[in-house]
Structure 1
Amino acid sequence: MYVILVYDIGEKRVGKMLKFCRKYLNWIQNSVFEGEITEVKLKEMLIGAKKIMNEETDSIIIFKSREERWLDKEIIGIERMRTDNFL
């Protein structure tokens, strides 16, 4: 499946969450990730993310799609992290 993950994490934990999420998805902008991921890997990632975050003050939002082609993505301005240059 293809996912877009957005998080709002406290300042003390944001660096750790960034490093953690980069193991699973492509970092495209501050606190925003996207990429193909299996259901199992997504569950694994969320278990790890919950250990980093404070569920009373932080949040993660995940948008899911069967495939990237079902999304219409428009970028205005500079693209921070291109995802089409991977081999």
Structure 2
Amino acid sequence: MYVVIVYDVEQARVAKVCQYLRRFLHWVQNSAFEGELSESQLERLKLGLKNLIDPDYDSVYIYRLPHKKYLRKEIMGQEKALIDQILD
């Protein structure tokens, strides 16, 4: 499945969450990641995030699509990270 994750966490946790998500997905913009994951990889990612965030202050949005072909993405301005150049 194709996953897009965006998050808003307190400053003290931003670096830890960002580094953790880089283990699974491609960084595309500040606080935004995307990429292909299996169901088990997504579950592992979510378990790790639960240990990093404070649910009383932080939020993480996870958007799931069956495949990247269903994603229609439009970028205005600078593209922060070119994920099409990454080999799978």
Pairwise same-fold verdict (TM > 0.5): yes
CA displacement, residues 7-64 of structure 1 (integer Å, 9 cap, x when unaligned): 1111000000000000000000000000000010001001001101001110100111
Q: Distance in 1 between matches of 2:35 and 2:64?
A: 10
Runs of 4+ aligned residues of structure 1 deviating over 3 Å after TM superposition are none
| The structure with more helix, counted as a fraction of residues | 2
Query: Match for 1:71: what amino acid?
Result: L
| 2:72 corresponds to 1:84 | no
Unaligned runs of 5+ in 2: none
Query: Match for 1:57: what amino acid?
Result: Y
- What secondary structure sits across from 1:73 in the alignment? coil
Q: CA RMSD in A?
A: 0.6
Q: Distance in 2 between matches of 1:86 and 1:3?
A: 16
- What secondary structure sits across from 2:4 in the alignment? strand
Aligned length: 87
| Correspondence for 2:26 | 26
Q: TM-score, normalised by structure 2?
A: 0.96
Unaligned runs of 5+ in 1: none
| 2:62 corresponds to 1:62 | yes
Q: TM-score, normalised by structure 1?
A: 0.97
| Correspondence for 2:72 | 72
